[in-house]
Structure 1
Amino acid sequence: HISLSTWFRDYVYIPLGGSRKGKYRTYLNLFIVFVVSGLWHGAAMTFLIWGAIHGFIIVVEKATLKTRKLVLSKVGIVNGNFASGLLFSFVTFVIVCFAWIFFRANSYTDAKLLVAGILKNNYIILFTEDLYKLGLGRNELIILILAILGLVVFEILNKSNKLGTLLSKQPIGFRWAAYIIIIMTIVIYGVYGDKDTSQFIYFQF
């Protein structure tokens, strides 16, 4: 993706004028780049919408930067503090996950049905036994929660201790045991679930 983004910058964004032709032209150029990047992933309406969502959000983010900073500062949320990190991470996560609906859907019609289902759902079921009727059983949900917690713990530890460096200082037996556990975890959970749902998404291109 680094080389891809560089290509879009050099051969799409800059030839369109980049940021040299004023604020609004910059917004348009950014939007076009993301739409084109969507079509690069696949020639379908779903990919075009996926790219357009990202382009639109980038434009909104840049266009409202000063206003957002002013409003958020009034409630004590400024860049760099814990509240801002939590808020921005949550908003980004929700937007990206929403856009993934269109990226992953087999068709535009399927994507519309999924979005409609999200909007119509009664979210009280998230706190009742009906939660297990959504497609994941109790064991799968436990595995999912543990996996997410594991990633969070790993991220925290890696930031403070640099786990790669820490692991390299351990005895060879401990290191290889850790390597084997990591590899087996990837192999086991990489093929976990239904055959169709675990297929690598880019195989369709």
Structure 2
Amino acid sequence: MLFNSLHFLVFFPLVVGLYYGLPPRWRGALLLLASYYFYMSWRAEYALLLLATTALDYYSGVRMSRLPDKRQRRPWLALSLISNLGTLFIFKYFNFFRDAAVALAGTLHLPVGAGPALGLLLPVGVSFYTFQSVGYIIDVYQGRLAAEQNFGRFALFVAFFPQLVAGPIERGGHMLPQFRREHDFDYGRIVSGLRLMAWGLFKKVVVADRLALLVNPVFNSPRQHPEGPLLVLATLAFTFQIYGDFSGYTDLARGAARVLGFDFNLNFRQPYQSASVPEFWRRWHISLSSWFRDYVYIPLGGSRVAPARAYFNLLAVFLISGLWHGANFTFVVWGGLHGLYLVLSTWARPAREWLAQRTGLAAHPGLRRGLGVAITFVLVAYAWIFFRANTLDDALFISRHLLTGWQLNGHQVATLLLDFSQHYRPELAVAAFAVGLMLAVEYFGSRHSPQAWVAAQPWATRWVGYVGLALLILYLGIFNSTSFIYFQF
């Protein structure tokens, strides 16, 4: 079931109505049933996998809570990690590593057979709910969190439908206390949640899905569009498409949770306003980057080690992060690029400060930040090529041809773009308008609280805005139930 589908349009109001109509003691059971129905609408049998993960981690957490020290808890931690990561490996990575091993053996001329491939369909959301459950188990093992003793409450923590399939990846310490509280009907909170959902829907169906019409023809057949201007246009379009798509999903998830009385952590903070790649990762997919920081980077030693080891830790984390996104070398290279960016950013910090002093940029912080934002945007946009490309060969082809064709004069470049977009002219205009509106609202939101600002306006002004946004969604949106990009992870 997609947030941008008619199915959800019926499902969600029904759940909200029943939730507030039932006595508080039955609301948790309703949300758990609704969450499993939501998940089973994709593939019913994989709900058994979700249930098995939940049961094992619940039992492991309860057993660890009864043991006094980490040494005694360690077998239960190992059982949970092996089960969760093993499941993730079988469904998501087995064929990838099998093919890589066969290719390596062929390169080394070793007589190794390919062996059977697993024809398993990737369970939707498995990477997200696995990481959420693993984070809980590690927190219980470390003593940072008391194990949840109520199985139904823990099952709801793992399966809560607004964030089940694409995050944010929540922590037990943040969500479990909310599931223990009663949530009364609050008109202001519900309106706030619906506003956030409407904005998320706009970013998905108007921004992201319109941009997809420009992105897909180029990235799916890059050799048919080898001209640099077209490749740059498609790369820029995908840069905003993935932001509109994923942050739109997050807004829908956070808004739906808010309507029901729950608060999710912020997952995006205007990432394209970042003045450095490290800042970008403090603003983009915050729940995942903080998960890797707390459960991988810091246990590896973080930055509290020798510089060479710290650089290795950064690269390792981002290579793993790239692989988390998908069993394809394109994602590994994407993660490796960001790891390299971060290593170079850390290594070159003294040189940047020296250069800023020598050039006078240190005395102009606004100009310096603007330059940093522009450079960071270019680096991030270039890395998105590897994220979006279907194969590594396609990504390298696009990279090699980004600078070709720019010797044309302005009229020739414009003609080239218009010839390409002859079937997409409405999409170009709508996408440009939608991206501009999205960026303007996000820029305003970085300096003010949009929700508070909207709530402070007279009712007539608010409703003009609501109706205007609804009309933009209805007339400019694409309603073909296009899946969210991160659902494949």
- TM-score scaled by structure 2? 0.37
Q: Does the Cα contact within 8 Å between 1:79 and 1:85 map onto a contact in 2?
A: no
Residue by residue, what CA displacement relative to the aligned partner does 1:97-136 show, whole Å, maximum 9, x if unpaired?
Answer: 1111111111112212221221323264665322213447
Alignment of 1:76-91 (within 5 A): 76-78=360-362, 81-91=365-375
C-alpha distance in 2 between matches for 1:168 and 1:199:
32
Deviations 1:61-108 (A, max 9, x none): 010001011112222212872211211111111111111111111111
| CA-based RMSD | 2.8
Paired residue for 1:164, among 451, 457, 469? 451
Q: In 2 relative to 1, CA 10–151 (structure 1 residues): closer, same or farther, beyond 3 Å?
A: closer
Asked whether the 8 Å contact 2:337–2:383 carries over to 1, the reply is yes
2:158 is aligned to: none
Task: Single out whichever of 155-164 and 4-13 deviates more from structure 2.
Answer: 155-164
Letter in 2 for 1:185: L
How do residues 126-145 of structure 1 correspond to structure 2 at under 5 angstroms? 128-135=414-421, 137-145=424-432
Do 2:454 and 2:462's aligned partners in 1 also have CA atoms closer than 8 Å?
A: yes
Q: How does 1:18-33 map to 2 (within 5 A)?
A: 18-33=302-317
Displacement of 1:181 after TM fit?
Answer: 2.4
Q: Given residue 464 of structure 2, which amino acid in structure 1 is its aligned partner?
A: A
Output the amino acid matched with 1:74: R
CA contact (8 A) 2:421 2:428 kept: no
Is 1:113–2:400 an aligned residue pair? no
For the structure 1 residues 85 and 124, does the alpha-carbon distance in structure 2 shift closer, same or farther, using more than 3 Å as the test? farther
Q: 1:58 to 1:176 in 2, by over 3 A?
A: same
* 1:185 corresponds to 2:469: no
Counterpart of 1:19 in 2: which secondary structure?
A: coil
**Could you tell me whether the CA contact under 8 Å between 1:39 and 1:48 is conserved in 2?**
yes
Higher relative contact order (CA 8 A, sep 6+): 2
Q: Which amino acid aligns with 2:416?
A: D
Residue in structure 1 matched with residue 463 of structure 2 by the alignment:
176
Q: Determine which of 40, 45, 69 is the counterpart of 2:329.
A: 45
Supply the AA of the counterpart residue of 2:441: F
Distance 1:115 1:133, change over 3 A: farther
Name 1:70's counterpart in structure 2: 354
Structure-2 change in CA distance of 1:58 and 1:190 (3 Å): farther
* More displaced stretch, 59-68 vs 174-183: 174-183
Distance (whole Å) between structure 2 residues aligned to residue 200 and residue 188 of structure 1: 20
Unaligned runs of 5+ in 1: none
Moved more, 109-118 or 142-151: 142-151
CA distance in 1, matches of 2:488, 2:309: 35
| Alpha-carbon contact 2:386-2:392 (below 8 Å) kept | yes
Distance 1:125 1:186 in 2: 37
CA spacing shift, 1:141–1:73, aligned 2, 3 Å: farther
Larger Rg: 2
